[in-house]
Amino acid sequence: MTRRIARLFGRGGALNPRNIRLGMWAWLIQRVSGIILVVFVVMHVVAISQASFALKGPLIMILDGLRNPFYYVDRTFLSIDIIMLGIIAFHGMNGIRIVLFDTGIGVGLRSHKVIFWILVAMAIVASGLVIYYGLPLLGGA
């Protein structure tokens, strides 16, 4: 086990950061963010369900409660939500990149990198928009 890890991360190892190029980073981050998001989705479903049981009303009223600027918002949960937003945006955009390559669009060393950075920019813009419009509604700003 230890030898295997040493081989992976040591000099010349496949997971040594020095040997990881852009496509490998994309693959690795996609895996890790995917695992994080499975946990998040389950937590999100549980949290929203609990809220909908506790507040005993249709969802639109629960959302109205959340939109109230005086509604107490836990900063920790708010920051987790914002971090998750970024992870979701990256995972989604990088996923589009994978689907593009699987369908044969944009295959090539140079276009690989260009498409990656275009999609990362789109992910940043998308999360920026959601934070800009969503944060005041959640009472975060």
- Mask 81-110, x = binds other proteins (CB under 8 A)? -------x---x--xx-xx--x--------
* 133 is a site residue for other proteins (CB under 8 A): yes
* 28 touches other proteins (CB under 8 A): no
Q: Closer to other proteins at the Cβ: 6 or 41?
A: 41
Q: What are phi and psi of 32, to 5 degrees?
A: -65, -45
Query: What type of residue sits at position 134?
Result: G
Nearer to other proteins, 74 or 102 (CB): 102
Give the residue with the Cβ less far from other proteins, 45 or 80: 45
Q: How far is the CB of 15 from other proteins (least distance, A)?
A: 13
Taking CA 91 as the corner, what is the angle to CA 11 and CA 127, rounded to the nearest 5 degrees?
120
Decide whether 53 or 110 has the Cβ nearer to other proteins.
Answer: 53
* Tokens 């990656």 found at: 116
Stretch of residues binding other proteins (CB under 8 A), selected from 12-20, 54-62, 70-78, 106-114:
54-62
Options 10, 17, 58, 108; binder of other proteins; rule CB under 8 A: 58
Q: Which residues contact 31 (CB under 8 A, 6 or more apart)?
A: none
Tally of CA atoms within 13 A in the half-sphere of 39 that contains its CB = 9
How far, CA to CA in Å, does 21 sit from each of 14, 58, 77, 85, 109?
10, 49, 34, 25, 12
